[in-house]
Amino acid sequence: MMDDTGGVQMARALKHAALSLMLLPRFLLAAVMLWLLDFLCIRKKVLLKMGERQDGSDDPPVCVSDSNKMFTLESLRAVWYGQKLDFLKSAHLGHAAPNTEVVLVQERRQVRILDRMKGKRPLILNFGSCSCPPFMTRLAAFQRVVSQYADIADFLVVYIEEAHPSDGWVSSDAPFQIPKHRCLEDRLRAAQLMLSEVPGGNVVVDNMDNSSNAAYGAYFERLYIVRDERVVYQGGRGPEGYRISELRNWLEQYRNDLVNSQTAVLHV
């Protein structure tokens, strides 16, 4: 029995070591970038370049105040955690979408994420938290997309663990200072703050096992589109890969395809 236990522990240790080796190059690159961003002259140049590549209306540029420290133990932990989730996620483009457990904010009732789908309409999943400046900055743009495409798609905001908790990697640019969620009630309270920003929005929270965050590799923020229970769009990891403009482009193309298919049927 002890030999079996020892074998399991050895297998886990080897798996963890292999994972660490695979993630290490990307993590070190991110760590160096964070260190460089603590030099304000470099930070301003990098943010300026990033702003030039963004769509101003849908993807306003990321702002990082001079007072924010980028290279800290907490920031390195957060980056490592996000990269690990991304590497181990089960959601992949063209594959079945994970049907994870979430909690309805208003009713406080557990449901499955794919329960929010309506027939063959695409379901847009927007993962984020109130302490994430890029997510909150683009929330208004997301709501505009919701209003413009509500006739052809459904939208769901999934509140995950805080990107910049007040007792972790703190960001003075976050509109709310929220500590790490210790229980589901903490997460529900934080989601209520988001609902105050988008009244009437469709918001659920991840469970305290963070199963949706892990399955979709969503930390810090991320966009997905699910149709016929399969992932048809997988946005990049935030903040760099989080683009409302890509979501709008996908939906516009989807609308055009619907119109063309209906026209073809009429002609037949």
* Mean pLDDT (whole number) for 126-142: 95
Q: What pTM value is reported for the model?
A: 0.89
Report pLDDT digits (tens) over 168-221: 999 999 999 999 999 999 999 999 999 888 877 899 999 999 999 999 999 999
pLDDT (average), residues 228-257: 95
pLDDT tens digit sequence for 13-69: 777 788 788 889 999 999 999 999 999 989 888 888 777 666 678 888 888 888 899
* Inter-residue contact 215 to 167 (CB < 8 Å): no
Quick count: other Cβ atoms within 10 Å of Cβ 265? 8
Total residues belonging to the chain = 268
Nearest CA to 222 out of 124, 149, 108, 150 is that of 124
Using pLDDT thresholds of 50, 70 and 90, give the confidence band for residue 1: very low
pLDDT above 70 covers a percentage of the chain that reads 93
Q: What is the reported pLDDT for 265?
A: 57
pLDDT digits (tens, 9 = 90+) for 65-104: 888 999 999 999 999 999 999 999 999 999 999 999 999 9
Span 121-130, pLDDT tens digits: 999 999 999 9
Q: Is the pLDDT of residue 2 over 80?
A: no
Q: What pLDDT is attached to residue 264?
A: 61
Confidence of residue 235 (pLDDT cuts 50, 70, 90): very high
Q: What is the pLDDT of residue 54?
A: 63
| pLDDT of res. 89 | 97
Q: Domains in the chain, start-ordered, CATH in brackets? A: 14-267 (3.40.30.10)
Output the furthest CA–CA distance in the chain (Å, rounded): 73
